[in-house]
A and B are shown apart, each in its own frame.
Chain A
Amino acid sequence: MRFIFKTDYEQDIRLFRHGGQRFWYGVLAVLLLLAPWWAGEYVMSQLHFILIYSIVGFGLMMLTGFTGQVSLGHAAFLAVGAYTEALLQAAGVPFVISISCAALFTAVLGLIVGLPALRLKGIYLTIATLAFNVIVEEIIARWHSLTGGNEGKHLKPVQILGWKLESDAEFYYLCLVLTVICCLACVNLLRSPTGRAFVAIRDSEVSASCMGVHLAKYKTIAFAFSAALTGIGGALYAHKLAFISPEQFTLFQSIELITIVILGGIGFLHGAVLGAAFIIVLPQLISIAKGWLPEGLVPAGMQAVVFGVILVLVIIFEPLGLYGRWLKIRAWFELFPFYRKGMFRRQKSYMKSERLR
């Protein structure tokens, strides 16, 4: 058990709470920096996806995990980011500017989507974002002159200031740098009054507005920020795949993105990374498991079943996701032998209608 002896108010908002954290994050940083040396080509490619999904996960975590607004339309933001990047690159715009434009444009779009969010609550908002996703997907498929319709669009490798990022390792470092920047941006935002306002809105809108949090303003900011991160993720996603078409940005993509947040652990930035890693690794595990089964018994729908079962089990037995499991393990070791079973138990609650007064 570690006791942190506080001698300074600054300590509360430091990036690292104590030396142990500094050490372990340092180890992680070194491992990630050296990844091109220890990882094979295949693992590198998976790492790209994990980093890209982490960025999107951060965006969704800020919105869903910290502000409490559930969106089933983030694939639309991903699509807009990806297509902005593709179009600007085709127009010869340098990468640094084009990815900023992608972020900016999706942020504006997020702002627009965020506006109805001020009137809508809970499930209605989710359905509205779902509708938004379907409409954006259809627009992309139909607007042939701009997006190439269902034939999709091809992208060239990234080029920064005349330096072509053609190899896996170079693209990996680009993703890594952007992921770290996005992560730090989220951490910083959460330490600021804005971030505290987000959490206040999540926990109770009424009490937040009583404490002087301007609901409309902060919800819109949350939407715009989340969309911007997703846009950056989308731009990288487009470069990673080198080919984008509307069917990559369906509602199922949105559901997959929200499961990143749920499986990783809602309300923790670590959860976004863990969830992203899990979502990427899961199909590999399934295909390995398929190898063990006898030939005739390999069903086509197994992936969907496993995915669904894991989702349901996690929500029932581990509401805080993978990161919650880690917290429990850590608490067990820290408090040994005093850990009790009920320490993380959910409070019993009764649902009450919000429809009637």
Chain B
Amino acid sequence: MAGVSLGCVYALVALGFVLIYKATETVNFAQGDLMMLGAFFALTASVMMGWPYWATILFAITVMAVVGMLIERIVLRPVLGQPAFTVVMITIGVGYVMRGVVTMIPGWGTDTHQIATPFAEAIWNVGGVVLPVQQLGVIAMTAALCAVLYLFFRFSRLGVAMQATSQNQLAAYYMGIPVRRVNMMIWGLSAGVAAFAGILLAPATFIHSNMGFIGLKAFPAAVLGGFGSVPGAIVGGLIIGVVEALAGYYLPEGFKDVAAYVVLLVVLMVRPSGIFGETARKKV
């Protein structure tokens, strides 16, 4: 159960990777740090301003969406269309900046914080099985978000435009899709999802400036599901979460941290395109 709920958080971070990868074919190494920043905004809203939980979530997501768009506009627009690695390095740099900035802001700093949740320590007892509401809440909210995103990509004009941009930028330009604006929105969306993940993760790991490193665990999730596949990210995240929980339980100490990466390497060796990935073939 703990594995599944942690897996949901991995899944959400992986979802952020996937959204950006789908639209811009680059990997955002700062996804974990976006999550961290989102959690800090939630902290500000809930603890310092005393807002209710739901308002906090909305606030954090909105602010982070704006932050994501700003990052795209200021930092990534100039290198639009450059090789993927360039963008990866830029996002690593952005991650450094975010981590540093957070420690500089008074009230956030280097300390560990906590936010109150409505389903704190409550426990449901369903037919003899004890279910912590905390983790159920995480799972339910993840599922809801996934449904919304699925519908968005499947039916809305903007969602379809985002998919088109990801497949061929130039062709998307020709079709009259405002590629830059779409990219900006996808960054906003992805940062919003990251903020959501951060809020869900907050009760489990607390909020501190290094919580973004969990984003690194989301790589295996994204790869396992097939980079560029939304359902893949969710399934991959769940699998990684469960594998990790099982490894922590059955295998000697130390395997828990590595298990995700071992799975990652095995997947890359056996089936690099992941579970749901499309087969890659490069044209000349």
Contact = CB atoms under 8 A, between A and B. Distances in A.
Partners in one complex: yes
Interface of A: 70, 116, 119-124, 126-128, 130-132, 134-135, 138, 141-142, 206, 251, 255, 258-259, 262, 299-312, 315-316, 319, 346, 348-357
Given A303-B100, A308-B94, A127 B75 contact: no
Given A116-B269, A316-B75, A351 B81 contact: yes
Contacts of A301: 99-104, 110, 209
B205 to A, nearest CB: 18
B93 A309 contact: yes
Nearest to B213: A251
Given A131-B220, A138-B257, A350-B170, A312 B97 contact: yes
B100 A258 contact: no
A120 B85 contact: no
Contacts of A127: 27, 219, 223, 264, 268
A357 B281 contact: yes
Interface residues of B, number: 61
Interface of B: 24-27, 75, 78-82, 84-86, 88-90, 92-104, 110, 166-170, 173, 209, 216, 219-220, 223, 227-228, 253-254, 257-258, 261-262, 264-265, 268-269, 272, 277-278, 280-284
A123 B265 contact: no
A353 B94 contact: no
B82 A134 contact: no
5 contacts: A131-B264, A304-B103, A311-B92, A353-B168, A357-B283
Given A134-B261, A300-B110, A355-B228, A316 B25 contact: no
Given A309-B97, A319-B86, A346-B82, 7 more contacts: A131-B261, A135-B262, A142-B254, A305-B97, A305-B101, A352-B170, A355-B25
B280 A132 contact: no
Nearest to B104: A299
Contact of B173 (A134, A350, A354): A350
Given A300-B103, A353-B25, A348 B81 contact: yes
B89 to A, nearest CB: 6
Contact of B84 (A123, A315, A356): A123
A255 B94 CA distance: 13
Contacts of B84: 122-123, 351
A349 B82 contact: yes
A308 B92 CA distance: 7
Given A301-B104, A354-B25, A126 B81 contact: no
A355 B100 contact: no
Contacts of A255: 92
Contacts of A353: 25, 166-168
A142 B98 CA distance: 31
Nearest to A305: B100
Nearest to A125: B268
Contacts of A302: 100, 104
Contact of A119 (B24, B209, B269, B277): B269
Nearest to A311: B93
Given A351-B24, A353-B167, A262 B280 contact: no
Contacts of B254: 138, 141-142
Best-surrounded residue of A127, A135, A305, A309 (most CB of chain B within 10 A): A127
Contacts of A303: 100
A300 B104 contact: yes
A255 B75 CA distance: 19
Contacts of B94: 308, 312
A245 B125 CA distance: 47
Contacts of A312: 75, 90, 93-94, 97
